[in-house]
Amino acid sequence: MSETVQLFVTCIIDAVFPQVGRDVVEELERNGAEVEFPADQTCCGQPAYNAGHHRESTEVLLHNLEVLDRTGGPIVIPSGSCADFLIHHGPRLASGDPENAAMAERVAARIREFTSYVSEQRERASVEETETRDRSPTRRAFYHPSCHALRGLGLRREGESLLESVRGVERVEIEGAEECCGFGGLFALEMPEVSTGIMNTKLDRLEEAGVEMLVGADAACLIHLEGGLRRRENPMQVVHIASAIATGRKDRP
């Protein structure tokens, strides 16, 4: 039974990491979904929202709600932060007008964060993903839960299980795993030194734990952490969970 899903790819993946978007599509389709991409989508509106510019945020939000509201089926978003925004903040932001409010609620009810949706797909299809790891070298990988997925949507285990299913990977823990990476959207520009301080705490702990691969489901946190790692000339690999899954599959002998 195939289900049609709408992909809301997020502005960062669209513009900076298109391969992640392709890996997302591949995984969704492999699990039996039919993926559609509403072409007029742009960005959820969160950047302006967090900065306190709610007029801009509302206009961007409403445009995208209209685009999504014209479609059917679950809306899959490969970012906990954007998903949390559309589920929890969108309805509040659109509440000034009853029709917009209803639209925001309708869309919010269809939003599915990627790791959560894929976990459910696999469960439904009883996909047995865990493979024996005896033939491939094991890399130490940490799953960064990302604040908005973790505290906004209550997700962590979903992404960790997906990571554990990837061949050649051993999932490891670090101290303070649930602490913020310091990105915080425009916070990183408004308070760059503080943002950097928080990031460095996180990077130190990743290094202390000997992590070789940093995996997450939110491209924004990953950009931030990879930007810091590159500056440190640390070769730790940073990948979105969708790409970790896709790469693991291609590595299969």
Partner 1 sequence: MSQPVTFRRRAVGEMDTPKPAAVGRAARRFMGKRQWAVDDFTPMEETRDRARMIRLHTLANLHTYLDQFADSVERNGGQVLWAADAAEANRLISEVVGRKEGSLVIKSKSMVTEELDLNAHLQAEGHTVVETDLGEFIVQLAEDHPSHIIAPVMHLTRQDIGELFHRRLEIPYTDDPEELNAVARRHLRRFFLSADVGISGVNTGVAETGSIITVTNEGNGWLTTAAPRTHIAVMGMERLVPTFADAATIVEVLARSATGQRLSVYTNVVSGPRRPGDPDGPDEFVVVIVDNGRSRVLSTDASEILACIRCGACLNVCPVFREVGGHAYGQVYSGPVGSVLAPGLADFAEAVDLPFASSLCGACREVCPVRIDIPKLLVHQRVRATRENDPFKWLGPGLALYGQAAKRPRLWKSLLAAGRMAGRLKGKDEWFHRLPFHAKGWTRSRDFPPPARESFRQWWKENRSGT
Site for partner 1 in 207-226 (CB under 8 A): 223-224, 226
- Secondary structure (DSSP) of 104-131: HHHHHHHEEEHHHHHHHHHHHTT-----
Q: Which residues are within 8 A (CB) of 113 and not within 5 positions of it... i.e. 6 or more apart?
A: 76, 77, 78, 79, 80, 83, 84, 149, 153, 155, 217
User: Closest distance between partner 1 and the C-beta of residue 230, in Å?
Assistant: 4
- Residue with smaller CB distance to partner 1, 187 or 247: 187
* Site residue total, partner 1 (CB under 8 A): 71
138 contributes a contact to partner 1 by CB under 8 A? no
Footprint on residues 45-104 left by partner 1 (CB under 8 A): 45, 47-57, 59-60, 62-64
Compute the distance between CA of residue 75 and CA of residue 36 in angstroms, rounded to an integer.
9
Structure tokens at 215: 């995996």
Binding part of the chain for partner 1, among 104-112, 160-168, 199-207, 241-249 by CB under 8 A, reads 199-207
Element (H, E) at 29: helix 18-30
- Residue with smaller CB distance to partner 1, 75 or 167: 75
Footprint on residues 151-170 left by partner 1 (CB under 8 A): 151-152
User: Closest distance between partner 1 and the C-beta of residue 74, in Å?
Assistant: 18
User: Closest distance between partner 1 and the C-beta of residue 114, in Å?
Assistant: 14
Contact yes or no for 75/6 (Cβ under 8 A): yes
- Residue with smaller CB distance to partner 1, 46 or 165: 46
> Which of 138, 192, 251, 252: binder of partner 1 (CB under 8 A)?
192
- Residue with smaller CB distance to partner 1, 59 or 251: 59
User: Closest distance between partner 1 and the C-beta of residue 241, in Å?
Assistant: 17
Footprint on residues 10-49 left by partner 1 (CB under 8 A): 11, 13-19, 21-22, 25, 37, 39-43, 45, 47-49
User: For the chain, how big is the Rg over CA atoms in Å?
Assistant: 18
Structure tokens at 176: 């303070």
Contact yes or no for 164/129 (Cβ under 8 A): no
Q: What percentage of the chain's residues is helix, strand, coil (to nearest 5)?
A: 55, 15, 35
